[in-house]
Amino acid sequence: MTPSSTRGLKRRAAFGEGRPRGKNRAARDKLDLAELNGHVGYFLRRLQVAIFKDFIETLADFDVRPAQYSVLVLIAANPGRSQAAISKTLNIERARLARMLHELERRQWVERRSAANDGRSHSLLLTPAGQKVLAQIKRLAARHEKQAAEMIGAERRAQLLALLREFG
Amino acid sequence: MTPSSTRGLKRRAAFGEGRPRGKNRAARDKLDLAELNGHVGYFLRRLQVAIFKDFIETLADFDVRPAQYSVLVLIAANPGRSQAAISKTLNIERARLARMLHELERRQWVERRSAANDGRSHSLLLTPAGQKVLAQIKRLAARHEKQAAEMIGAERRAQLLALLREFG
DNA sequence: AGATATTGTTGTCAATGACAACATGTTCTC
DNA sequence: GAGAACATGTTGTCATTGACAACAATATCT
């Protein structure tokens, strides 16, 4: 494969160019990443996109995106809390969360009742239907996580998780 | 407004509630992440967003977003290659790359000349101006990477990079 | 030669992030 | 206790992004 090894016939890299041709189209086009190799963000993003893609596919039957999942999980684990609390915890913008909750309410998974102690805020709860659905969703999410572990290697995943978690 | 709340004195946390009050608003609202703690994707995304935010801020003077940066670096390191090659390497959709290149061409950083050996594809090159700008941009990108290292800890960053890089 | 595939392009749609403005309610300060 | 300052949820708007379909031009395969 090395350009300097003239393997007799197979004159693929006969000239300086050495472009792959014909059959080897799809795979053999890899370029030099150059300084991208030194950027954590680059690889971080690639992996994150791949993982989210798997998540979305795995949960396609419920049409739940990662952000929605995180909101559902947070409401389930912290019932009665306000949108502001969820928003701050997940770094989701207030405006966006409001719209997302409209959708989750439309699906009858989430209930908003006005908080007892603060007339401005809403207490968020899962409806019984929401709880039931979330249980199924969590099973799929667990399956996704298993697939992710296969994809990146179980121990690498564990190491990554340990490293990443030290933020918040 | 609350019907059940006796209008008397500071009745705020008189019961089991124990909500944070007054001053401690901003910080003390942290909720239980529950099963999110088991999802690499969740933490991966949080860190990625934080890092990209820093990148964008650090390179704000040049108005270069991460994707644009990666394209510029790849063209510089692999001059003459086609859009398809860049697209595949960076997992950027063909359509999106085409539009991005229009913008980079408008800024006079990138030149597209039709490839000699394939009438369909374009050979991508940096213009002299583009090379000059990219040199400055790379300095800012290096500064960003340094900031990221401070942010997440130099060794954690190194470990992360090592782990993440084993994909591609 | 004719079927098939690739390349670059444009159009469109949905999701997202960012930000401003607003009404309503709460907390702070005096 | 009144008024300033702030918090909360909402809507509106804009820019960016990802996904997908369609297309013309060109290359490649059989």
A31 touches chain B (CB under 8 A): yes
* Separation between Cα atoms, residue A87 and residue A100, nearest integer Å: 11
Q: Of chain B residues 107-166, which have a CB less than 8 A from chain A?
A: 117, 138, 141, 145, 148, 152, 156-157, 159-161, 163-166
Q: Where are the domains of chain B?
A: 40-165
- Per-residue pLDDT tens over the stretch B86-102: 999 999 999 999 999 99
C-beta separation of A91 from B49 below 8 A: yes
Most B CBs within 10 A among A15, A24, A28, A33, hence the mutation to make, goes to: A33
Class of domain A37-165: mainly alpha
- Among B41, B88, B145, select the one facing A48 at the smallest CB separation: B41
Q: Is A33 on the interface with B (CB under 8 A)?
A: yes
Nearest to A66 by CA among A58, B108, A23: A58
Provide the pLDDT for residue B21. Answer: 34
B106-127 mean pLDDT: 94
pLDDT digits 0-9 by tens, B123-161: 999 999 999 999 999 999 999 999 999 999 999 999 999
Radius of gyration of chain A (CA): 24
pLDDT(B27) > 60: no
Mean of pLDDT values over A53-73:
96
CA gap B101, B90 in Å, rounded: 14
B6: nearest CA partner in chain A: A117
pLDDT of A111 above 60: yes
- CATH class for the region spanning B40-165: mainly alpha
Query: Which nucleotide's C1' is closest to B112 (Cα)?
Result: C8
Confidence of residue A168 (pLDDT cuts 50, 70, 90): low
Segment B20-37 shows an average pLDDT of 64
Residue of chain A nearest B70, judged by CA positions: A36
A20 pLDDT tier (thresholds 50, 70, 90): very low
**Average pLDDT over chain A, rounded to whole?**
85
Q: CA angle, corner A136, sides to A132 and A140, nearest 5?
A: 160
- Indicate the pLDDT class of residue A29, thresholds 50, 70 and 90: low
Please tell me whether residue B100 adopts helix, strand or coil conformation: helix
